[in-house]
Amino acid sequence: MESSEHRLPEHPPRGTRPGRPERQAPGGRAARRGSRTASAAPLGARAALRLSFARRAVLAVLLAGCAALSAGCAVRVPPTPRITITPASGTTAAPPEAGLVVRAEGGRLTSVLAFAGRDPVPGAFDSSHTVWRSSWTLRPGTQYVVDAVAIGAEGVTSQAAGGFRTLRPRREVAVASVAPYDGETVGIGMPIIVTFTRPVEDRAAVERALEVRGPAEGAWHWPGPAQVVYRPRRMWPANTKVRFTAHLAGVRAGPATYGVADRSVAFTVGRAMVSTVDTRAHQMAVRQDGVVAQRMPISAGMATTREYTTSSGTHLTMDKGNPVRMVSPGRHEGDPGYYDKLIGYAVRISNSGEYVHAMDNTWAQGRTNVSHGCVNVRPDQARWFYDHALRGDPVVVTGTSRRLEWNNGWGYWQLSWPRWLAGSALRGDGQAEPSSGTGPGRATVTSSPPSERGRTSSVP
């Protein structure tokens, strides 16, 4: 028996139909398929080439973007403000008159702290906040420390700190005395009188350092090289406050001469009390804030000599004592006209020995002038005047042939405002007005401290 094999049917090649033989003919479909297969390789190569070009273009774009991105993201440090402190840190003999200056370049100063020892140094910025200056000169022989902060245009801050020492002067000048006293209540005509320990050569430098804070315009006047006086243009308004400060520390007052300390005085201007003395009518009227408070019959100088003539003009009350010893000027015991008396309730109004004081000669008061130059009133009225008078109260005398000299006591109101300004080192020629003196034989009485009051030479 023949064996037979079971065979799976063969699948025709792809692209042929089963049961139908492939036709083979020259130039037929098979040949054309072969040609398409043969051309597949060149088409794939061109696609790959095109892909390569695209990838290169994308890569170039990415590289260019990366470069641009890298350039735009570069870290740039903004400039830092530069701070300069003058005097430079470490200086050991800085000139005090130059002051302290802090500058910022490329930014604005936001903070400056300076100390002289433990004391803060006052100062101010300019309008642009690029410069800070101390308000006044620096204290000689003193260690200073400074700390400053500045900020730039882009918010970057910088800080600088330093320290220096000012020079120690060979010669020193200081304020010896000031009138009025600190805390004193004074009259509306009161000047500020500053006396120095030595003559001042550079008056302009010292005058610049003198500060008056008050309710009225005023100016300084130099009666001499060691004294300067401040007077308002018009009398002080009543019931006001005034503060005087001499920023003298560090001021160069002359060659190798410096101020070593500041001095400050605060005082109050009290009620307006003005007295008018009419020597021809023999009357004195005292007004307080414009209202007559007292009318007093008086007896003034007999005017037989210049010495015995009461001076006319605007006096100021200077001090007072009860009693005051009054001795005849230029005379000795036994000489004609000699006297040595204790006079009660005496208020001084000049340096040439003129007072408003008590005298029990009511027969003359209101009728005739018989004194040696003073203005005398009844004892009870003299006591009232003594009790109510403040230093700097105006006493205006009229009716005599002698004029009060501007430098006789506190006769400063005798000068017109232009003449007063002429005695300023900053607003005039800085020269003292020529003095006309106090007259031959007339006693010259200088202002004395409280401990010495009550002993003076004068004429009752």
Taking Cα atoms as reference points, which of 236, 226, 228 lies closest to residue 190?
236
141: amino acid identity, one letter:
G
Mapped to the 3 state alphabet, what secondary structure does 259-305 carry? ECCCEEEEEEECCCEEEEEECCCCEEEEEECCEEEEEEECECECCCC
Q: Is the pLDDT of residue 384 over 70?
A: yes
Least confident of 53-62, 74-83, 168-177, 299-308: 53-62
pTM score of the predicted model:
0.75
304: amino acid identity, one letter:
T
Would residue 388 show up in a list of annotated catalytic residues for this protein? no
Note whether 294 and 285 are within 8 A (CB): yes
- Going from the C-alpha of 188 to that of each of 115, 289, 403, 413, 447, the distances in angstroms are 38, 11, 22, 12, 19
Catalytic residue among 247, 315, 357, 372: 357
Residue 244's contacts (CB-CB under 8 Å, 6 or more residues apart) are: 178, 192, 194, 210, 211, 212, 213, 230, 264, 265, 266, 267
Q: What percentage of the chain exceeds 70 in pLDDT? A: 77
Place of tokens 């083979």: 24
- The single-letter DSSP state of residue 352 is S
* CA distance from start to end of the chain: 188
Token output for 176: 């010896």
Token output for 435: 């003095």
3-state secondary structure of 113: strand
Q: Is the pLDDT of residue 378 over 90?
A: yes
Would residue 374 show up in a list of annotated catalytic residues for this protein? yes
Q: Is the pLDDT of residue 49 over 90?
A: no
Query: How confident is the model at residue 21, as a pLDDT?
Result: 45
pLDDT-derived band of residue 3, with 50, 70 and 90 as boundaries? very low
Average pLDDT over the chain reads: 84
d(CA 412, CA 403) in angstroms, rounded, equals: 13
3-state secondary structure of 387: helix
Note whether 101 and 131 are within 8 A (CB): yes
